[in-house]
Structure 1
């Protein structure tokens, strides 16, 4: 930790602390040890076997450095370092106070279980605090798929789906924004650095590569009788289709919302199989599409968007469905009659 208290209950930062003086944890009141050297960030540490819960986790040098840098980035006049919230027995890394708004900031460099993350979010929420999780630089290399990003993803009208990182070497924020999924379920989008630089987050996979990769997954999944693929194939059989015969149009269902942890192409394939059961010329209502989406939902692992409100997730699913309908319209399969009604004018091939 970066903050401790003296016997006189005066708050002291580790960088300003004096050796041979006694300092105490602001939470448990145990005496702590000042650690400062040429190769480490000045900090206080509990003695071995401490039972202090809010300050029990050992912190890496990257984490300690990042907290100092973030405090400087947001402005030390607006930031309180490691404030102990006694009512919650929690301490955010930073508490940002601006324009009458308090924001708890957590700088996360290590792995944290979803249950622990939810518990901390709930604590802040009950205390009336919004929390912002900023990820350490190691996550820049770790996160490639929706599965790896799901518990950190946030949404805003300005940034779309986004993640925020802090890079200690560059001493700057990196924001991955307007994130979507490609046909294989990999994340794609844009990255913006606090110095103004912006670049594509990754190289987009070609349509041919998507087809080859998914066909290989289907082939291997069925060959080795993997439960996920057998379950999907059974659905296809029941609705007069084959998983190996995905309609070509489905491979164009990319740049989608990160609401599932699977390929959006497979999601579109199941929707299209249900669509093909309807006679040519049928009227397709919005309610039909929503019903189909609910019908196939159990076949996919939904993204755990725990940083989002229920309403944001609901709206995201609506955009996902609209994206699918728009694709069908552009391919001349559905003809729009009004905002919630279409006519089936061609069958997907």
Structure 2
């Protein structure tokens, strides 16, 4: 940690200029136990708890990247003209904010190490309970790994002009990265990547001036992406992977093959918002089974609403950094129902929808693969 107390006053490690510190007693602001000043030629000056000490607010084994990041954020926020503090202990929630802008009630958390969904959810809720906004900036360790739907659920925020986005900072490169317009396309996460030199630049861009770059968009998805997705499903089934097991079983109950699901399940854009525990394809296949394979010819609005609730409970994933995230499931649900209507499978009525015709399933992997390769129109 970078901050300690001496004689009831806060002091930063890099501001200790006394040559002989052996007689100086430094205290942790959180647990009030004695801490040790450590500084050397190659490491940032910092305080450390003594062996076997337990402290809720401050973690030991703090990385050099984390220390450098907090100091960088503090300096850059101050250059932006804001009052800023680092390592601010908030006793009522037993948390310590990496960087805190008290006048703005804004917290910046720099997350370099792994963290569970439950823990980041708890911390975020606690900050909001005190009236603070919070943005999580991820370290290089997170950026070096493949982006997963779980990481999106933990860290992604949303802006209309950026879609779902995540911010990274590489302390060694002194560079910020923005992954924006995160989408699921044919079962894989895709995004646009942009770099920034300062916190001021990236925050200003997020707030007002997001622009589409040349990254892949949903509209550019073609046959190759669908064939790759189809191949992944087939390989998963052959290897008996648990990835699609639940939906394979659900399809089997109706005498259907998951890999042979109707093309409407892929959709013209082969993807959507990155909000599902499994892929959006699993969610759509489940809806097609429930709408068209249960023998019904009409579905009331209440029935449709029940299907929506069941689908969110079964396939939805909570978004920690997004308020009212359920609205995004509503968007996907309405888009899919409207797509079924526009393709001539459903007709809207006063009380709900009427089934006009049923989507065509494929009898095998090879049959569907051949269709994707040769059909003049996929939908």
- TM class by shorter chain equals 0.7 to 0.9
Paired residue for 2:248? 233
- Pick the aligned partner of 1:320 from 332, 337, 340: 332
Counterpart residue number, 2:38:
35
Q: Is the 8 A contact 1:218 1:244 kept in 2?
A: yes
Q: Does 1:291 align with 2:306?
A: yes
Residue in 2 that maps onto 1:123: 126
What are the ranges of 5 or more consecutive residues in structure 1 without an aligned counterpart? Answer: none
**Contact residue 2 and residue 46 of structure 2 kept, 8 A:** yes
Q: CA deviation at 1:342?
A: 5.0
CA contact (8 A) 1:36 1:42 kept: yes
Cα distance between partner residues in 1 of 2:232 and 2:314: 16
Alignment of 1:72-151 (within 5 A): 72-75=75-78, 77-98=82-103, 101-151=104-154
Alignment CA distance shift 1:299-1:92 (3 Å): closer
Matched residues in 2 for 1:202 and 1:64: separation?
35
What's the offset of the Cα at 1:152?
1.5
**Aligned with 2:154: secondary structure?**
coil
How far apart in 2 are the matches of 1:109 and 1:329? Answer: 46
Structure-1-length-normalised TM-score? 0.82
Partner in structure 2 of residue 190 of structure 1 = 192
Residues 50, 288 of structure 1: alpha-carbon distance in 2 compared, 3 angstrom cutoff: same
Superposition RMSD in Å: 3.2
Q: What SS class does the counterpart of residue 94 from structure 1 fall into? A: strand
1:308 to 319, 322, 332: 322
- Of the structure 1 ranges 286-295 and 149-158, higher mean CA displacement relative to structure 2 is found in 286-295
> What's the offset of the Cα at 1:206?
5.1
- For structure 2, the residue ranges without an aligned partner over 5 or more in a row are 203-210, 361-379
**Which moved further from structure 2: 45-54 or 190-199?**
190-199
Task: After TM superposition, give the deviation of residue 109 of structure 1 in Å.
Answer: 0.2
Contact 2:48/2:60, CA 8 A, preserved across alignment: no
**1:35-77 deviation digits (Å, cap 9, x = unpaired):** 2333222222223222233223221110001001111222264
Q: 1:314 to 1:62 in 2, by over 3 A?
A: same
- 1:142 Cα deviation (Å)? 1.7
Q: Does 1:262 align with 2:273?
A: no
Contact 2:247–2:258 under 8 Å retained in 1: yes
Deviation of 1:124 after TM superposition, in Å, equals 2.5
Count of aligned pairs between the two proteins:
340
Aligned residues of 2:185 and 2:221 also touching (Cα < 8 A): no
Residues 89 and 236 of structure 1, relative CA distance in 2, 3 Å threshold: closer
8 A contact 2:49–2:60 mirrored in 1: no
Question: 1: distance between equivalents of 2:146 and 2:239?
Answer: 28
- Is residue 266 of structure 2 the alignment partner of residue 251 of structure 1? yes
**Cα distance 1:178–1:218, how it changes in 2: closer, same or farther (>3 A)?**
closer
CA deviation profile, 1:59-97 (whole Å, cap 9, x unmatched): 111000100111122226421111122333321101113
User: For 1:202-251, what per-residue CA distance to the aligned partner results, in whole angstroms no more than 9, with x for missing partners?
Assistant: 79895434433443444344445556645323322444533232112222
Rate the CA distance shift 1:178–1:85 in 2: closer, same or farther, 3 A: same
- Which of the residues 155, 160, 163 maps onto 1:160? 163
After TM superposition, give the deviation of residue 163 of structure 1 in Å: 1.4
User: 1:6-54 deviations in whole A, cap 9, x for unaligned?
Assistant: 23x3322222212323233222333333223332222222232222332
DSSP-derived class of the 1:181 partner: strand
Q: Tell me, what secondary structure is at the counterpart of 2:290?
A: helix
**What's the TM-score, normalizing by structure 2?**
0.76
Listed one character per residue, the Cα deviations across residues 232-281 of structure 1 (whole Å, up to 9, x for unaligned) are 2332244453323211222235341222122212322222233334889x
Displaced runs of 4 or more, over 6 A: 201-205
